[in-house]
Amino acid sequence: MARVALVSCLLLVASTAGGVAAQPSQPGPARPESPHPAFESVVANPLATDDRGEYVALSVPAHTNLSAYVLEDGEERLRLPAVNATGTVLLTAAPEAVRAAGDRRVIGVSLPRLSNSGERLRLRRDGETVAELRYEDAPEGERYADGEWKPIGATAYPVVNGGAGTARGFVLPDAPEAALEPIRRADDRVLLAGYTLTSRRVTDALVRASDRGATVRVLLDGGPVGGITGSEAARLDRLVSAGVEVRVVDGPATRYRYHHAKYVVADGSATVLTENWKPSGVGGAASRGWGVTVTDETVVAGLAETFTGDFGYRAAKGWSEFRAGESFASETPAAGSFQRRTGPATLPYENVSLLVTPDNAERAIIRRIDAANESIHVLQMSVGSTDQSLVAATVDAARRGVDVRILLSSKWYVETENRRIVARLNRLAEREDLPLEARLARPSGYEKIHAKGLVVDDTVVVGSMNWNDNSARENREVLLALSGPAVATYYRDVFNRDWRASGSGGERPLGLIGVLAALGVGCLLAARRLRFE
């Protein structure tokens, strides 16, 4: 359905006043409409022998005596203890096995055993049911709340909004030194997160930072597609030998399908990338990628907090412990060489936001697409489907008259599916006379598209999130969104160069809607440089 741009603008402006710093979110107390406790969450199948540590969490109004209530599951009854409580209370038979964050209170009780196949829980007072919760098929290591299962310990970070500043923008393979510069300058801390790390240059930079006295920590995925390679194992062995603390995310306690983020916090800077710490990525040997470095204190602190939370979580295992008995895959590193057409640039911006998945990025980006006035440029290795939420929002923008261009990779492993999606999008544009066109890339100055880039009017989004549901909803991904004419122009110019090199692929006239948009009829609303929320 087409959206009314003016209404979208007013609603978005109203919803984006002010920024918030990242807080590691634990489920807070609900605001029950009644004076009685309410069910907040349930863990029925924890990662422990005999489900030790299962619990029921209640949201309790201020100064409530729990002894007035009985918990029932249809087979057993539990009279709650004579405790005056406020806020979130966790009821469990094994309080020593339950970790409570913040002001959440753990109370040991003879809790009825919670069935992994499903339960109907009731909280009763004086024979009357005051709260009820039902669940089915409890997955191992997940928590049920708000009608869905999520991994125990999953974060709920809000968007972190910073202010105006100056960024260091760069693209790959053109500027392979730019991602390393913050590491090479650091003398206090280096917190590097990635999916994989096989670059000798990156390893050297990390070892030298450690030799200078910086605290250096590295967090990677323990089960990337295809497995950890022998070259990566060698790099990580060297880091550990040099005193760098290296951990990999792996095992049944993992909160996310993949730790796919690609960033580094170096002293007071944050660098976010679309590319892996590999020769093909930051080494400039193959991939078209985007990257950006900012020094906004709020955003840097938020990203450091994200790293610390993931690094310190129980699923992050020390490399030496993890590698014992492991076998490693072989890989031929990329060794391409390309002309460096676009150098790094110092780019003023008006605001910057930190987005992470699965916590907030998908919703935030869709809101920005929904507010687009003029143009949307999408650069992706692939997209899940034409029905995927981000793609669908982009098509809706075209229906409002926003000029949309989508450029996808033509690499052999995604070419067939991408060609199908490009054809489908172009047929839709033809049928509805939309100012939308999709193309398969014809690489010039790079080997393949691996970037996950977006320019919406004067807002740029750079990060590791692919446009598919797994990346947006199940992985740990990190992105930066920056707004301002200079930063948008820099990345849009690179996109347009790649677009032109890829040819028309059956380009057709824009039609009446596109012509009107090109003439500026669709720009009666002023261009907005909005903060994400």
Tokens in use for 96? Answer: 């020593």
Beta strands in 137-243 (DSSP E): 142-145, 148-151, 160-161, 165-172, 189-193, 215-221
| pLDDT tens string 256-280 | 999 999 999 999 999 999 999 999 9
416 and 465 in a single domain? The answer is yes
What gap in Å lies between CA 263 and CA 291, rounded to an integer?
9
Q: Would you say residue 329 has pLDDT above 50?
A: yes
H/E stretch holding 5 reads helix 5-15
| pLDDT tens string 164-177 | 999 999 999 999 99
Q: Decide if 443 contacts 410 (C-beta within 8 A).
A: yes
| 31 within some domain | no
| 532 within some domain | no
| 410 within some domain | yes
| Predicted local confidence at residue 532, as pLDDT | 61
Contacts of 344 (CB under 8 A, 6+ apart): 168, 169, 170, 175, 178
347 and 244 in a single domain? The answer is no
| Predicted local confidence at residue 517, as pLDDT | 37
Give helix 389-399 / helix 412-432 axis angle, nearest 10°: 30
314 and 219 in a single domain? The answer is yes
Q: Per the structure, how many domains does the chain have? A: 3
| 331 within some domain | no
388 and 317 in a single domain? The answer is no
196 and 288 in a single domain? The answer is yes
Average of pLDDT values for 482-498?
98
CB environment 487-504: b (16+ within 10 A), e (fewer)? bbebbbebbeebbeebee
186 and 312 in a single domain? The answer is yes
Q: Decide if 509 contacts 469 (C-beta within 8 A).
A: no
Neighbours of 449 (CB within 10 A): 27
What gap in Å lies between CA 290 and CA 243, rounded to an integer?
31
Side chain identity at residue 278, one-letter code: K
| Predicted local confidence at residue 531, as pLDDT | 58
| Predicted local confidence at residue 12, as pLDDT | 36
| 332 within some domain | no
User: What pairing do the DSSP bridges indicate for beta strands 459-463 and 269-273?
Assistant: unpaired
Q: Tell me which of 209-213, 430-434, 518-522 is least confident.
A: 518-522
Neighbours of 459 (CB within 10 A): 29
19 and 42 in a single domain? The answer is no
346 and 482 in a single domain? The answer is yes
| 60 within some domain | yes
Q: Would you say residue 352 has pLDDT above 80?
A: yes
Contacts of 525 (CB under 8 A, 6+ apart): 5, 6, 9, 373
With left for phi above 0 and alpha for psi between -120 and 50, is residue 420 left, alpha or beta? alpha
CATH (domain of 260): 3.30.870.10
| 333 within some domain | no
Tokens in use for 267? Answer: 């002293």
| 392 within some domain | yes
CATH (domain of 97): 2.60.40
Starting at the edge strand found earlier in the chain, the sheet holding 375-380 runs 160-161, 351-357, 477-483, 459-463, 452-456, 375-380, 403-408, 436-440
Tokens in use for 302? Answer: 């938020």
| Predicted local confidence at residue 330, as pLDDT | 81
Q: Would you say residue 513 has pLDDT above 60?
A: no
371 and 496 in a single domain? The answer is yes
Q: Would you say residue 497 has pLDDT above 90?
A: yes
269 and 404 in a single domain? The answer is no
| Predicted local confidence at residue 18, as pLDDT | 34
Residue 465 lies in domain:
5-23+341-523
| Predicted local confidence at residue 101, as pLDDT | 67
